[in-house]
Amino acid sequence: MTTTTYGVTGMTCEHCVRAVTEELTGLGGVIGVNVELVPDGASSVTVTSDAPLRDEAISAALDEAGEYQLVTS
């Protein structure tokens, strides 16, 4: 099992939280998703899964949920 926290921009409300959680939960191997909403910044999205997930899979799920973007360093 692995837990990874991602920074995600574009989330402004609980609707955003639900949309992102639903899409990420739909990825294979995902056990849980927890979001700490920061409406005017980068929200923390923690994903627990059976195995590490590729950033591309996370980005695709965020795109499907809405106009949300991974924060890249």
Q: Is 73 part of any domain?
A: no
| Alpha helix positions (H), the chain | 14-25, 55-65
**pLDDT mean over 29-55:** 96
- Domain ranges, residue 20: 2-68
Provide the pLDDT for residue 44. Answer: 97
Provide the pLDDT for residue 50. Answer: 97
Q: Determine contact, residues 33/27, Cβ cutoff 8 Å.
A: no
Q: Is 53 part of any domain?
A: yes
CATH of residue 35's domain is: 3.30.70.100
Measured CA distances, 73 to 6, 30, 59 (Å) = 11, 24, 15
> Which pair of tokens denotes residue 31?
């056990």
Domain count along the chain: 1
pLDDT band at 72 (very low <50, low <70, confident <90, very high): confident
Helix then strand count (H, E) for the chain reads 2, 4
Q: Is 21 part of any domain?
A: yes
Q: Is 34 part of any domain?
A: yes
Q: Is 54 part of any domain?
A: yes
